[in-house]
Amino acid sequence: MLGSSFGILISVFVIPSLATAATPAEVTAAATKAVSFYHSHASTHGGYVYRYSADFTLREAEGIPAPDTIWIQPPGTPAVGMAMLDAYEATKDEKCLAAAVEAAHAVSRSQLASGGWDYSGHFDSKNRASQLYRRDEDGKLIERKKAPQGEAGWHLWIKHQNKNNYSTFDDDVSQAATRLLIRVDHALGGKDDEIKEAADFALSAIIATQYPAGGWSANWDTWPSSPPPLAMYPIKPACYPADWPRKWPKDFTGCYVLNDNTHATLMSTLLLASQLRGDAKYLAAAKRGGDFLINSQMPDPQPAWAQQYDADMHPSWSRAFEPSAICGRESQSAMWALLKLAAATGDKKYLTPLPRAIAYLRQSLLSNGQIARYYELQTNKPLYFERGAGGKGFILTYSDQKASSNYGWKWDSELDTIESFGKKIARIEPVIFPRTEKERWSSPPTDSDIATILKEQKPDGSWPVTDEERGWMRDTSGKKTKPTGGVIYSLDFVQNVKALSTWLKAKH
């Protein structure tokens, strides 16, 4: 019986796995075909939006973009361009590089005089005229004698807000754009002057907007000709306020922002620049970012991180559903940023905050093993928000029973993995960091993952979606519709092409 059972296991599980394993040639063909399709059909001025109907008559992002509008916020143009560059690095297909270069040009031509990017970029004459872009649609620098510039700092932005020159670090917008430019510039050996100069300008803005303590605000709207002043933003450790409002004060005082991984993605961008350019100033700025995370770790009884801090290093409100609190998601993001910095520098001081934070967060896990987005200061009770009367406004509550659906109130715990990486880095063992964004595929992708990607890919190189959850879009009037042939997502393209490229690099 034992021999018979063993034979069944072999025939059922092992043989099909071997029979369906993809070859490098098949994966190369799939990756290059996907890039060719997306570049040929989805590109507008070299840029991309979030999703398209299969016939490309409909486009959608955060709302309905105009025909000549591209999206910068991931998974828009920078994310698509970097996936194309991944494909080039794995396949050496020059067409993949050319597509990535076009995406980089779309990004450089959407860069603002303030040095960063807004969520979207425009290429029609009316909208371009209304924005302080640094270049024209052909990439030529525009001479602007009256472009606003001056001292950096939240105190100035909150007063005047030049909406035509609005740059943001929110949602990895300017960071992703900068990383694409850095990577393409490196791939081209610095031979494209436009891309190189745009990357230099963006990196200068990142460094100039950094506060003396090492943190950043989410937005700025003037070219930062000088950094935020130390007298106004002194370096001090995080501490608890004597009290905090339970209702949204409608006052954006959070000048230091970790929300949505803002601080972590800025540090990653600087580490990438240091790695590919070899300039010590980028590593120095990343270290200042790490020093801020050490300083912003809250004292006992909650030695983790808040989502944003005011100039006195008190956790502070942001939007109406983002209170003064300890933040589980951003605490994990802060620890990943410290791990990457420790691995890059070999400096173990960046590991010192982790044991206390991990122990505290483990004790704070919810009954389902997840981590709460918010924990009340001092009491450590998980916080949620419900919609107010008539679906308007938000009401703070300790119960998740009626929590509003607009936000992620609970997150998967990554504490075990974070602790494991910390121990390896402390032992000076080599590590390969997992992708921090949520993706469908394993990291690294398995042979089974690759087989699924190839199976789902259409002969033209696309991955259309037709299911009930994701097979819908809004037409130009805003009406919800289900396009014939399905919906094609930039996110799916990015994740699939990155997985194919990662698998190929491992095989090679």
Quick one: CA dihedral 279, 280, 282, 286, positive or negative? positive
Domains of the chain: 1-231+438-508 (no CATH), 236-264+297-430 (1.50.10.20)
**Contact of 222 with 149, CB cutoff 8 Å:** yes
What mean pLDDT comes out for the span 257-266? 96
Rounded to 5 degrees, φ, ψ at 133 are -70, 150
Q: What percent of the chain clears pLDDT 90, i.e. is strictly above it?
A: 86
Element holding 6 (H helix, E strand): helix 2-9
3-class SS at 434?
coil
Return the bridge partners of 150, or none.
Answer: 224
pLDDT in tens, 185-219: 999 999 999 999 999 999 999 999 999 999 999 99
What mean pLDDT comes out for the span 419-446? 86
Return the bridge partners of 326, or none.
Answer: 306, 375
Count of all residues that appear for the chain in the document: 508
Predicted local confidence at residue 16, as pLDDT: 38
Predicted local confidence at residue 105, as pLDDT: 98
- Which DSSP string corresponds to 59-117? EEBSB---TTEEE-STTSHHHHHHHHHHHHHHH--HHHHHHHHHHHHHHHTT-BTTSS-
What mean pLDDT comes out for the span 50-55? 98
Pairing of strands 374-376, 59-60: unpaired
Quote the DSSP letter at residue 172. Answer: G
Predicted local confidence at residue 436, as pLDDT: 59
Rounded to 5 degrees, φ, ψ at 224 are -80, 85
Contacts (Cβ under 8 Å, ≥6 apart) of 168:
116, 117, 118, 119, 174, 218, 219
**Contact of 27 with 504, CB cutoff 8 Å:** yes
Half-sphere exposure of 192 (CA within 13 A, CB side): 23
Task: Describe the crossing of helices 415-426 and 328-345 by its angle, rounded to 10 degrees.
Answer: 20
**Contact of 174 with 250, CB cutoff 8 Å:** no
Q: How far apart are CA 384 and CA 404, in angstroms?
A: 8
The three-state DSSP-derived secondary structure of 345-398 is: HCCHHHHCCHHHHHHHHHHCCCCCCCEECEEECCCCCECEEEECHHHCCEEEEC
**Contact of 315 with 377, CB cutoff 8 Å:** yes
pLDDT in tens, 115-154: 999 999 999 999 999 999 999 999 999 998 888 888 998 8
Return the bridge partners of 372, or none.
Answer: 410
Task: Describe the crossing of helices 262-277 and 280-296 by its angle, rounded to 10 degrees.
Answer: 150
Residue 471, Cβ neighbours under 10 Å: how many? 15
Residue 36, Cβ neighbours under 10 Å: how many? 18
Q: How far apart are CA 78 and CA 57, in angstroms?
A: 22
Region of poorest pLDDT, from 25-29, 70-74, 391-395: 391-395
Q: What percent of the chain clears pLDDT 70, i.e. is strictly above it?
A: 94
What mean pLDDT comes out for the span 244-254? 86
Averaged pLDDT of the chain: 93
Rounded to 5 degrees, φ, ψ at 365 are -60, 145
pLDDT class for 10, splitting at 50, 70, 90? very low
Kindly report the pTM of this predicted structure.
0.94
